[in-house]
Homo-oligomer: A and B are copies of this chain.
Amino acid sequence: MSTADPGGAPAVKQVGRPRDGSRDVLILEEALAVLAEVGYERLTIDAVAARTGAARATIYRRWPTKAELVLDAVRRLSEGDVDPADLPDTGRLRDDLVAIVLSQSEDELQYRMKIVAGVASLALTEDRRLAQAATVASVGSWTRALEVLLQRAVDRGEYPNVSRDVAPDVSGEAGISSGTAVDVAALAQVVPLMCLARAVTQQPISREFSLQLIDGVLIPAMRGAG
């Protein structure tokens, strides 16, 4: 349906009206807003069209299905996320973790978590791409950032009991008999996934909750490793 032809010869200019990029962005943003309000199943192209002033046909020309529109919209959320090369680096793990939590907007956090809730039931059925994109958009860069901060603390020897080459124990039954080396990869998921779970089950999420997890779970776990 689309008039764009990405496979065409690069030298040949596209014929017809140029795609209006800013209108695409507006449509994607409004699609996300509708998704956060009512969830995927109740989202309609009509509602998105009404909020953007675009014609339904315009939206369908660009995104032939609702799933494609929502997938594009959710992927767009991940753009402009925290840059792993530009993280707090105070020299002390707890200060780094607190800084990254305080740098997040609670409204933005709630919004992203509502979007995950809005597509969660799709995880049961066909569209795995959407569930995966929502995971990346909601917890992907956050988890990666926390893992960088934790690993940095290990590398500089802030927690001498943590082995510098600790590897998560993923082997079959090994967990039953293994020791208790702290698992940096698992620890990096604690705050993002617990916020996500609370959002999905309608419990409030806040910076205070994240700070509580830093002091009540993450830092003790790093200190108690070894």
Contacts and interface: CB of A to CB of B under 8 A. Distances in A.
A221 interface: yes
Interface string A111-142: 00010111111111100100110110011000
A170 interface: yes
A186 interface: yes
A123 B131 contact: no
A47 interface: no
B219 A180 contact: yes
Tell me if A's interface is mostly helix, strand, loop or mixed. helix
Interface in A169-226: 169-170, 172-173, 175-176, 178-183, 186-187, 189-190, 193-194, 196-203, 208, 211-217, 219-225
A88 interface: no
A42 interface: yes
Q: Which of A132, A135, A212 has the most CB of B within 10 A?
A: A212
A67 to B, nearest CB: 14
Interface in A65-111: 94, 98, 102
A146 interface: no
Q: Which of A38, A39, A139, A216 has the most CB of B within 10 A?
A: A216
A135 B200 CA distance: 9
A201 B124 contact: no
Contact of A222 (B119, B213, B220): B220
A128 B190 contact: no
Contacts of A212: 168-170, 175, 183, 186
A76 to B, nearest CB: 18
A36 interface: yes
7 closest cross-chain pairs (CB), A and B: A224-B224, A183-B216, A175-B211, A39-B121, A223-B224, A41-B41, A120-B120
